[in-house]
Amino acid sequence: MPPRFCPQCGTKASVQAKFCIECGAGLDGTSAVARQSRPRTAGFTVFGGLLLVGLGIWAAILTPDPPPPALGGSKRPAPPPMAGGAAPPAGQKVELPDEIVKLVGDLAAKAAAKPDDLALWTHLGEVYSRTAQFDETYYAKALDAFDHVLARDTKRADAIRGKANVYYDRNEPKRAIPLYERYLALRGDDASVQTDLATMHFYDGDTEKAIGMYQAVLTKDPHFVQAHYNLAAAYHRQGNVAGALEELRTARSLATEDRVKEQIDQMIARLSGQPAPAVEPATAPATAPPAATAPATDASRTPFQREVETQLRAHQILGPRIVELRWKSAGAVEARMREFPMAQMPPMARQAFDKRVIGYLENARRDHPVEGPVSLTIVDAASGDVMATVAP
């Protein structure tokens, strides 16, 4: 029997698939929301897609697994690829739907009734951590939950890691580092956490130490894609473009997902000063897209522009769909996108998307002052239609 295609986003799906791995839409006549009682089904493997189309968001938040890596492997986000260690943009509070607030509150009430159920309290901490991606006030609650566990069992490894992950997400490397080290003292063979620890040193400015740790991980596991990718970021910060390209090509040869391969291909092209690889659309557009121009090399971009481009291409949902980035002025960039469902974003998802992009622009402007307004215009590459303009 031939493969099917998702009616929502067009992604190819296997015959046995019950949901789309790209957007989370149901392929069996039901929605992801209807399957919320099945833990670890779509979960955070498709978390970004679920958020994007507004399906099953509470099921994703209540899934105990951490969010997916930017490029596979480690279960924490990668450092900004080729970004020179810029910190993730500070989040803003996004109004949560009543359903999410109630579900999280119900879980907290269950935990309060069972103070010695450490597994439940650890799960509550993870839920708070996921909820904090929308409302940062939940980070404090996550830390309290993990501290509740660790006050009763100082060697509870999953709680130690959960607490470290909160500080990772908040970009507080000095607090995350000793916790990851404490976790590794208990489970020293965890390559994912070793990579996370290296990344915290990367964010803390100790590039040499991060490189040594990434290399140590790869000595034990040469096929760990995330470590190769993160090592490329560290090499690039040092100005070692050749080393960065070598690691990216190695990561590309080991990657198994098309989305991951495409993102690495785009980064290799940008560092090499070559045109970005062409991406075939799922269906032929009704009208031919505007003629694309080859992307400029790093040398032709200002530091502000390079940082913005890096952050946009690293975005889990936005990055893989970027066909081309065109600078209309010193601070205004136009992103030509393929199959980007901007119109399908529910209000909460649009708020989260906008605040993340605004964070990119504001952080880059803070680090690299630029004259004039800054903005991102999102254009459909096939039709040339402007879908949105985001600006501080």
How far apart, in whole angstroms, are the C-alpha atoms of residue 278 and residue 312? 18
pLDDT reported for residue 210? 94
Burial per residue of 125-135, b for 16 or more beta-carbon CB atoms within 10 angstroms, e otherwise: bbbbbbbbbbb
pLDDT reported for residue 352? 72
Burial per residue of 295-309, b for 16 or more beta-carbon CB atoms within 10 angstroms, e otherwise: beebeebeebbbbbb
pTM: 0.59
Tally of CB atoms within 10 A around 370? 18
In the chain, which stretches have pLDDT less than 70?
1-95, 274-299, 316-317, 344-349
pLDDT reported for residue 130? 84
How far apart, in whole angstroms, are the C-alpha atoms of residue 114 and residue 349? 34
* 217-246 pLDDT per residue, tens: 999 999 988 889 889 888 988 889 899 999
pLDDT reported for residue 77? 55
Q: Identify whether the C-beta of residue 36 lies closer than 8 Å to the C-beta of residue 100.
A: no
Query: For residue 278, which of 381, 383, 380 has the smallest C-alpha distance?
Result: 381
Strands 322-327, 332-337: pairing kind: antiparallel
